[in-house]
Structure 1
């Protein structure tokens, strides 16, 4: 049984019973329900906005993630710059180096092959920054392959350059007798009068007249393959195999300064002017062979003559005179 409550009425100077008003309980109940609803709504708003309310650790991780995104973007820019530089190297490689050394250019498809079709980056999908990571990984893979191919190409160019240098050193490129030692350039390559039969006959070399004992020089690097007098008409003679299909012959020597199997370099003294064999006077008969065929030696003096000296010897070599052998 509920307690009866009273209040003091100052006007009547007496205690009066407190009468309970109708609907009070309903109001209290309604207010309670409203309060509960408001509290639930506020809690819902707080819950929905929890992602924006971050702890210090979460803020630190977010800053670290943003920094990593920035680093990835910078890495992509650097790779783009590296690819631009590499593209210029590739262009020079194809259009300069490989052409100079007579090598086939490397096609663009070969330089960037192997990155189409199959999805090789599937394991990197499904993350918040997958697109950025996949793009960076793909660019790095392409750049790495381009660098590997270009490195191999430069290795090939270096080897070709070394071979080119050896070829240039091997090709007969100087006169066998120095200009200062010459009495005259007696006869050139072509039809000449035979000194013994007086018949018109093809002369396959060039005759350099000089005093007996004048040094004769190797015109290119190579190996001595003959140093004897067992060839008809040549007398004492030397043959140098220069490689690359080139050989040179020096005939009518007074004596040798080399032996078979010996390696020589351009400018080495291989013998001395004489008049052995089928010869009318002391001179060096000089021939050049390419792939076993005799060719005009006049085309191989670029290593020792000035333009004026070459023009003079060219004019003399074309005179149809009498040869000395």
Structure 2
């Protein structure tokens, strides 16, 4: 039952009943409904912006965010594996490949060096998952840089390997006369008796006795620098420049099978045994020079003789007998 309201009439000195007009009642009802609608709308907006009320779109975005987080986690695990692989490659690069090719290792601080102080990731900041995204991006950038450095290092190793191959091919590594064509190894490197003066003097090569016309082989890759008889005592002789400081000389030839300026490979026939120049009998006088100094050729016969043959030749070469030139 609605409450009845009164007002005091001061003129008549009496309380009178307040009568509310119907129009006014309708106005109050409309005002109430309008206020309720506004309050309800504002409440709905507030609920939309709170975590307690999710729209289908919000739920879809939440699932996408969780999916992205999962993908980033998987990506980081894969990068952990890549880190292990790269560390293994870097270890082999520094401690195997570079050691073998006698070149300096790449310092760890160079491999792991960061970027400049400029904030490269400013555009990724300010989001809910910025830390995760920035951390992953930094790792990708670091791995990319390490891979670039390692790729450049391996390119260098390939060049060194090619150069090493050329060096190994250039080193005079075989006998200039085959064992089956030898009569004997007549004289070695060192002080020997001169066959003409009978004085003891330095013999700067090795003498291989063989029949006139026996093939003589280039002992390493190189370029023929001389094929003439201008050097005193050597008669017809050949000088091959192999590069890397190596030169070989072949003396007392009967004839040539090459000319100056010609490139030769190890094992090519460059001439034939003879007895020209200051020679007592048909033989090949063979010398090896390294950086302008004569060295013992016996140290270079690893390319075509066995250990037993090497020991036998070594015993003969070390005997202080008479040379043939």
1:111-130 equivalences under 5 Å are 111-115=111-115, 117-130=117-130
SS in 2 for 1:78: helix
Residue 104 of structure 2 aligns to a residue in which SS?
coil
Instruction: Give runs of aligned pairs for residues 131-280 of structure 1, distance below 5 A.
Output: 131-280=131-280
- Assess if the C-alpha contact under 8 Å between 2:251 and 2:285 holds in 1: yes
Residue 306 of structure 2 is aligned to residue 306 of structure 1: yes
CA distance in 1, matches of 2:311, 2:52: 91
What's the CA shift for 1:52? 2.5
Q: CA shift at 1:118, angstroms?
A: 4.1
Q: Distance in 2 between matches of 1:305 and 1:324?
A: 23
Equivalent pairs counted in the alignment come to 290
Q: Aligned pair 1:107/2:107, yes or no?
A: yes
TM-score by length of 2: 0.85
- 2:68 match: 68
Q: What's the RMSD between the two structures over aligned residues?
A: 2.2
Matched-pair contact (CA < 8 Å) for 2:205–2:286: yes
Corresponding residue number in structure 1 for 2:8: none
Instruction: Output the CA distance in 1 between the equivalents of 2:259 and 2:322.
Output: 32
Structure 1's unaligned 5+ residue stretches are 5-19, 21-35
1:189-224: per-residue Cα shift (whole Å, max 9, x none)? 000000001111110000000011000000000000
Q: Secondary structure at the match of 1:248?
A: strand
| Structure 2 unmatched ranges of 5 or more | 5-16, 18-34
Separation in 2 of the partners of 1:46 and 1:220? 89
Q: Secondary structure at the match of 2:311?
A: helix
Per-residue displacement from partner, 1:159-216 (whole Å, max 9, x unpaired)?
Answer: 0000000000000000000001000000000000000011111100000000110000
Give CA deviations for 1:263-284 in whole Å, capped at 9, x if unaligned: 0000000000000000000000
2:14 counterpart residue number: none
1:87 and 2:91 are equivalent in the alignment: no
Any conservation in 1 of the 2:114–2:142 contact (CA below 8 Å)? no
Deviation at 1:107, TM superposition (A): 0.4
Q: Which residue of 1 aligns with 2:283?
A: 283
1:51 aligned counterpart, secondary structure: coil
Q: CA deviation at 1:47?
A: 4.6
Deviation at 1:76, TM superposition (A): 1.1
Cα 1:125–1:46 shift into 2, 3 Å: closer
Taking the aligned partners of 1:318 and 1:253, their CA distance within structure 2 comes to 24
